[in-house]
Amino acid sequence: MRRVAIVQRVLAPTGVAVDDWEGASFLVRGPTGAVEIVDNLFDLWRKAEQLGHRRLDPLSIAPGVGAD
Amino acid sequence: MDRLPLHVLTGFLGSGKTTLLNRLVRDPEFSDSAVLINEIGAVSIDHHLVDRIEPGDGLDVVVLQGGCTCCTVRGDLVAALRELYQSRTDGLVPPFRRVVLETTGLADPAPILFTLVGDPQLRHKFEAGTVIATIDALHGLSQSEQFVECRKQIAAADRLVLTKTDIAEPDQLARTIDALGRLNPGTQAMDVNAPGILTHLLADPVQAATAWAADHVHGPAPNHTADIRAVAITFDQPIEWSPFAVWLSLLLHAHGDRVLRIKALLNVKDWPTPVVLHGIHHLIHPPTHLPGWPAGPRHSRLVFIAKDIDVGLIEASLRLFLAVHSDTADGWSNGAHRLPVVSGAA
């Protein structure tokens, strides 16, 4: 699934792994092995931040920008 | 069953919302409308004005109690819409074909649309229609400079309607139109007295999207002091849907509270017709597929209107993300996958 592959790339530095779950959901696995299933990308980002303890911000392409 | 459109009529205090609403519901073409008025305070002047419309002309008015829509009235809005729909089903009111909600002059239109899609019953009965904002040609410019509520209303609008144009000086009018173009590029400000304006205001989404797509969207002039800024982005080549959708979800996850408006006409790779996307804050409407391309180049055009964000970063981020994650990119091997979307502790 293309979307999952892109998400995996994005999250690779955080130690959070993502897999497709029955073609409709995402299986999110944190660095310590905690696993959650989420239904959409919005929930996925939220869960990935919780499990990876890192903030995700696509505007952080310049140093310090986007980090509050 | 077709869902009924809920149109939102917003605009700053005294900008002529009720005058426009009265005109609209008296027009035979729109007499099959139900009207909801968001009341603030104990006495609603707006309500009294609309309430004078004689019953039997297909109009039903429900006044929402409890003040500003953006913070306290969402439960009332749900209840009012459910009641209105039930009355329609039971034959207690004429079978109206649309709902027009007039907000208070200080309301942010976005939570109204969230309320609509967030309610499990309402979202099957109503769909988000057009957000119309009235702007006073005499005072709109200073109001938009002074009040963030006014700027948010302008930014959220699908239609901008200039009122009191007959008594405004040409220079004043020109400066107001220029300011509107900065706050909401690509949305043409219409004169309230223009012929056929009512039909244009409530055009169906596909028709509206086609009109928007046919307009050339100019990049806004830089305005480095404003809190609300817009950026218009063009892609000459088709874009891939999957990386775009992932990027957009990530942007809205991180900054949806400050992304006031998204409008996009997309040339999606492997898709023959244009795709139109509209969004307000975290809410993205289902993509609309237009029947065909308007004349001219098939470019993707996107407009982002955001508050307290350097909108140049939005463009840079999108371009970088698509470059790294498109099918043809070799992001893995050249290390570009390390696009820094991770910005510290959560």
CATH number of the domain residue B111 falls in: 3.40.50.300
pLDDT digits (tens, 9 = 90+) for A48-57: 999 999 999 9
| Average pLDDT in chain A | 86
Cβ atoms of residues B163 and B15 within 8 Å: yes
Give the pLDDT confidence score for residue B206 in this predicted structure.
Answer: 59
Give the pLDDT confidence score for residue B246 in this predicted structure.
Answer: 94
Q: Which domain holds residue B30?
A: 4-203
User: Is B258 a domain residue?
Assistant: yes
CATH of the domain at B280: 3.30.1220.10
Q: Please indicate if any CB of chain B lies within 8 Å of the CB of A8.
A: no
**Residue of A1, A8, A9, A16 to mutate, interface with B, max B Cβ within 10 Å:** A9
**In chain B, which stretches have pLDDT less than 50?**
41-60, 63-73, 216, 224, 330-340
Q: Please indicate if any CB of chain A lies within 8 Å of the CB of B253.
A: yes
A chain contacts of residue B279, beta-carbon cutoff 8 Å: none
* Domain shared by B269 and B177, yes or no: no
Q: Which residues contact B262 (CB under 8 A, 6 or more apart)?
A: B248, B277, B278, B279, B280, B284, B302, B303, B304, B305
* Domain shared by B273 and B126, yes or no: no
Parallel, antiparallel or unpaired: strands B189-191 and B159-163 = parallel
Contact: B254, A58; criterion CB under 8 Å: yes
User: Is B160 a domain residue?
Assistant: yes
Q: How far is B257 from chain A (nearest CA, A)?
A: 13
- Mapped onto helix, strand or coil, the DSSP state of residue B54 is coil
Furthest CA-CA distance within chain B: 71
Q: Please indicate if any CB of chain B lies within 8 Å of the CB of A4.
A: no
A chain contacts of residue B255, beta-carbon cutoff 8 Å: 57, 59, 66
Q: Which residue of B has its CA nearest to A14?
A: B342
- The amino acid at B330: D
* Final residue of a structural domain among B151, B168, B203: B203
* Domain shared by B160 and B293, yes or no: no
Contact: B337, A49; criterion CB under 8 Å: no
Residue A35 — very low, low, confident or very high, per pLDDT cuts 50/70/90? very high
* Domain shared by B239 and B131, yes or no: no
A1, pLDDT greater than 90: no
Q: Please indicate if any CB of chain A lies within 8 Å of the CB of B295.
A: no
Contact: B310, A65; criterion CB under 8 Å: yes
Residue A61 — very low, low, confident or very high, per pLDDT cuts 50/70/90? low
Of B249, B278, B248, the closest CA to residue B261 belongs to B278
Residue of B246, B251, B337 with shortest CB distance to A12: B337
Give the pLDDT confidence score for residue B214 in this predicted structure.
Answer: 55
* Domain shared by B169 and B287, yes or no: no
Domain total for chain B? 2
Residue of A13, A40, A58 with shortest CB distance to B251: A58
Q: How far is A33 from chain B (nearest CA, A)?
A: 18
For residue B27 the two structure tokens come to: 């027009």
Q: In what order do the strands lie in the sheet with B4-11?
A: B60-64, B33-38, B98-102, B4-11, B126-136, B159-163, B189-191
* Final residue of a structural domain among B188, B203, B218: B203
User: Is B41 a domain residue?
Assistant: yes
Which residues share a beta bridge with B10? Answer: B133
* Domain shared by B165 and B38, yes or no: yes
Give the pLDDT confidence score for residue B323 in this predicted structure.
Answer: 92
pTM of the model: 0.76
Cβ atoms of residues B177 and B189 within 8 Å: yes
Q: Which of residues 29-48 of A touch B (CB under 8 A)?
A: 40-42, 45-46
Contact: A45, B250; criterion CB under 8 Å: yes
Cβ atoms of residues B152 and B184 within 8 Å: no
User: Is B250 a domain residue?
Assistant: yes
Give the pLDDT confidence score for residue B226 in this predicted structure.
Answer: 74
Q: How far is A29 from chain B (nearest CA, A)?
A: 17
User: Is B311 a domain residue?
Assistant: yes
- Mapped onto helix, strand or coil, the DSSP state of residue B167 is helix
Alpha-carbon torsion angle B281, B285, B289, B291, nearest 10: -90
* Domain shared by B52 and B173, yes or no: yes
Q: Which residue of A has its CA nearest to B342?
A: A56
User: Is B217 a domain residue?
Assistant: no
pLDDT digits (tens, 9 = 90+) for B179-238: 998 888 878 889 999 988 888 888 765 566 656 655 545 555 555 457 888 888 999 999
* Domain shared by B130 and B241, yes or no: no
Residue of A61, A65, A66 with shortest CB distance to B320: A61
Give the pLDDT confidence score for residue B296 in this predicted structure.
Answer: 79
Q: Please indicate if any CB of chain A lies within 8 Å of the CB of B331.
A: yes
CA dist B180 and B188 (Å) reads: 9
Contact: A53, B346; criterion CB under 8 Å: yes
For residue A51 the two structure tokens come to: 């499990």
Q: Residue B235: left (phi > 0), alpha (psi -120 to 50), or beta?
A: beta
CA distances from B91 to A43, B95, B96, B97 (A): 41, 7, 10, 13
Q: Which residues contact B235 (CB under 8 A, 6 or more apart)?
A: B267, B299, B300, B302, B322
* Domain shared by B177 and B238, yes or no: no
User: Is B338 a domain residue?
Assistant: no
Residue of B243, B245, B316 with shortest CB distance to A61: B316
Contact: B313, A65; criterion CB under 8 Å: yes
Q: Please indicate if any CB of chain B lies within 8 Å of the CB of A59.
A: yes
As a whole number of Å, the end-to-end CA separation of chain B is: 44
User: Is B64 a domain residue?
Assistant: yes
